[in-house]
Amino acid sequence: MPMTEADVRWVQEPKLGFWDQIYFPAMIDGLKTTVGHLFGRKITEQYPEQEPKLPPTYRGVHRLNRDAEGRVKCVACYMCATACPAHCIDIVAAPAPPEWAGREKYPETFVIDELRCIYCGMCEEACPVDAIELTTLYDLTGLSREQMVFDKEKLLSVFDTTTKAGTDPVRTQAGRLSVASEPPPG
Amino acid sequence: MPEFDPVYLAIVIVGLMGGVLGVVGYLTLAERKVSAWIQDRLGPNRVGPGGLLQPLADGGKFFLKEEVIPAHVDKVFYLLAPAVAVITSLLAIAVVPFGPTVAPPDPQPTVAAFEAAQAEYRNHFSFVMAPGLDVGVLYVFALGSLAVYGVILAGWSANNKYSLLGALRSSAQIISYEIPLGLSVLGVFLIVGSLNLEKITAWQADHRTWLVLVQPLAFLLFLVSAYAEGSRLPFDLPEAEQELVGGYHTEYSSMKLGLMLMAEYVHLVTAGFIVSILFWGGWGFFGLENLLTDPVGGAVLKAAILIGKMLVYCGFALLIRWTIPRFRFDQLMNIAWKVMIPLALLNLLCVMVVLQFGWPLVVLTGTSVLSFCGAGVLSVWLRGSVTNPKRPVRKLPPGLPAGVTYASR
């Protein structure tokens, strides 16, 4: 709908009085603000010495969780690899050892290309057993592309590190699916 | 002008130049630090303790950077401009006292008396590069006007629209603000009766007063014009980054850019000394300067007081920078031509009348306040139609898209 003349509101500048016209009170007001900030609290974060406090929902480097017995929790169902929009997860499944009760498969290899990943967290949401999670580790560096391809051992070691440091991410909950998955009413 | 021992003179020149350039270097750090603090940041703090070695790092960086001379510039003037800028700003310091000084002797009736007075004057050590120069402040103003050549040459030779616009703005601004700058201090010269900076300091010491108390309006006008002359915010239109990239130094790189920036800070330091000497009593500070009676300690104390006043001026410039937003160009011109020049003339008239009739100088304080408030009242009465005239806006006939207006002719 085009704007009409009635929609236009004409705003007048406020009239300046004597104290405004001699500039001084306004200047002193301005200086008060400036000097207040000059001595006020500083908000700069001294990065390498002072690490930022990230929210627990931050999506950083992945980790592969271990179960209570220290085994990899993943059941190699390929849900994360399917959900991944960047196609950065590569899993090779193998039959689980017979002593691993209650599951058929486990991942023989589990590789994430951290350079290809867009850190959207969909793998975490897709995982039915809460085996893959994004941690709050953000300072990820490497000297070559090969170094940034994380294999199963590396991902499990991320789990060990973050658990020890007490920086566990918020657990993903396998809850109700969204309304889009429900059949239409009636 | 009396002759002095060249060895002493060489020491003074080297010491003063080194000192001024050191102050300039640390002013850049102070500028960055204060800017950061005012914006709730910490500022540079990595080089040396608390970032104190930052100016050295910056200087080294300037020297080591690649020197680019664009193919489209006028090489001669392009190379000349930074030199002109920095030479004029450094030359201006020659007559500026930076510590205690002795007033040069007045003209004597006979040659013998003149020689004796000069010989006596020569025995005193003055903290100034060229002592006893009678044109004093005029010399500083003259070199201040020459500084605009550096800007214009830079802007013109760079063959770049941003540079040219910046240089045009700068020349218009400097030429406009030179008038209130000169007119405002005329009153001071009339009161003291000399252009010599040492004599002006001595007058204030003798009369146990600061000229800012006698001439508050002139001080205000001088302060504003001095900031405008030095292209400090809120008068930094020549290099308004948001509009003109770097203004007249857009095309400069490496140490040539460094020289351009240095010239501006040297300008600030010179203006700080001039304001301290003309209006803030030079090396005097309510009798505090006489606390140390031995000659060396006293001289150091007085120099410290004067340099402290200069630093106060520079610090105020840094505060003002983040307090007042930049003027629009027409506002800048209106303030100079329609407010500051008439006020300066009025102030000069008051000084002439008071001196002619021999009234006490306190009257001048009253006339200053009165003319300042009078200008405010006049401004309210005219509703800013002189200093900030509004172009009438005509609404278009209905039927056209709403909100479209244009200035009527």
Q: Which amino acid is at B171?
A: S
Residue B198 contacts residue B128 (beta carbons within 8 Å): yes
Which pLDDT score is estimated for A184?
62
The number of angstroms, rounded, from the C-alpha of A174 to the middle of its chain's C-alpha atoms is 18
Residue A178: is its pLDDT beyond 60? no
- Residue (of A115, A94, A91) closest to A104 by Cα position: A94
Cβ neighbors of B228 (< 8 A, separation 6 or more) are: B173, B174, B177, B235, B332, B336
Is the torsion defined by CA of A38, A40, A45, A49 positive or negative? positive
**Cβ <8 Å between A31 and B41:** no
For tokens 């009438």, name the residue: B392
Per-residue model confidence (pLDDT) at position A112: 92
Chain A partners of B38 at a C-beta cutoff of 8 Å?
Answer: 34, 37-38
Are residues A21 and B39, on separate chains, in Cβ contact within 8 Å? no
Cα–Cα distance measured from residue B327 to residue B315, given in angstroms and rounded to the nearest whole number: 21
- Give me B325's structure tokens: 């937003």
For residue B247, is it within any domain?
yes
Q: Which residue did the predictor score with more confidence, B380 or B270?
A: B270
* B→A interface, C-beta within 8 Å: 34, 36-42, 319-320, 322-324, 372-373, 375-377, 379-380, 383-384, 398, 401-403
Domain assignment of residue B1, yes or no: no
Three-state DSSP state, B32: helix
Tens digits of per-residue pLDDT, B131-146?
777 787 888 888 888 8
For chain B, say whether A38 makes contact (Cβ under 8 Å): yes
Inter-chain touch A16–B34, beta carbons under 8 Å: no
The count of structural domains within chain B is 1
Token pair 């429900």 is found at: A182
- Which letter does DSSP use for residue B340 in this model? I
Percent of chain A's residues with pLDDT above 70:
87
> Is the pLDDT higher at A104 or at A182?
A104
Query: What's the pLDDT score for residue B3?
Result: 59
Cα B190 from Cα B354, distance rounded (Å)? 11
Q: Are A83 and A126 in contact (CB under 8 A)?
A: yes
B-chain residues near A41 (CB < 8 A): 40
Tell me what pLDDT residue B409 has.
41
Domain that holds residue B73: 6-390
How many percent of chain A have pLDDT more than 90? 11
Q: Which of A7, A17, A34 minimises the CB distance to B402?
A: A7
Give the lowest-confidence range in A24-33, A45-54, B84-93.
Answer: A45-54
Higher pLDDT, B389 or B165: B165
Is there a domain that residue B119 lies in? yes
- According to the model, what pLDDT value does residue B193 have? 84
Average pLDDT over residues A9-24: 79
Res. B256: pLDDT tops 50: yes
The residues, ordered by sequence, that sit 6+ positions from A47 with a Cβ below 8 Å of its Cβ are: none
Does residue B397 carry a pLDDT above 70? no
Q: Where do we find the tokens 């929609």?
A: A7
Look at A37 and B38 and tell me if their CB atoms are within 8 Å.
Answer: yes
Binary contact (A21, B38; C-beta < 8 A): no
What is the reported pLDDT for B396? 62
Banded pLDDT at A181 (limits 50, 70, 90): very low
Q: Do B380 and A41 touch (CB under 8 A)?
A: no
pLDDT tens digits, A100-144: 777 888 888 999 998 999 998 888 888 888 888 888 888 888 899
Q: Is A34 in contact with B398 (Cβ distance < 8 A)? A: no
Average pLDDT over residues B144-151: 83
What tokens were used for B36?
């950061």
Residue B399 lies in a domain: no
SS3 of residue A11 by DSSP: coil
For testing the chain B interface, which of A19, A21, A32, A47 should be mutated: the one with the most B CBs within 10 Å?
A21
- DSSP letters of A69-101? TSSB------HHHHH-TT--EEEEEEEPPTTST
Measure the CA–CA gap between A23 and A27, rounded to whole angstroms. Answer: 6
Report d(CA A91, CA A111) in Å as an integer. Answer: 6
pLDDT of B408: 47
Q: What is this structure's pTM?
A: 0.78
Tokens 């440091």 appear where? A165
With a cut of 80, say whether residue B326 has pLDDT above it: yes
Contact yes or no for B212/B219 (Cβ under 8 A): yes
CA distance B179 to B336: 8
Q: Check CB contact under 8 Å for B323 and A33.
A: yes
Going from the N-terminus, what domains does chain A have, and what CATH number goes with each? 62-165 (3.30.70.3270)
* Predicted local distance difference test score (pLDDT) of residue A91: 92
Residues in chain A: 186
Is B117 part of a structural domain of the chain?
yes
Tell me the average pLDDT of chain B: 82
In a domain? residue B149: yes
In a domain, B30, yes or no: yes
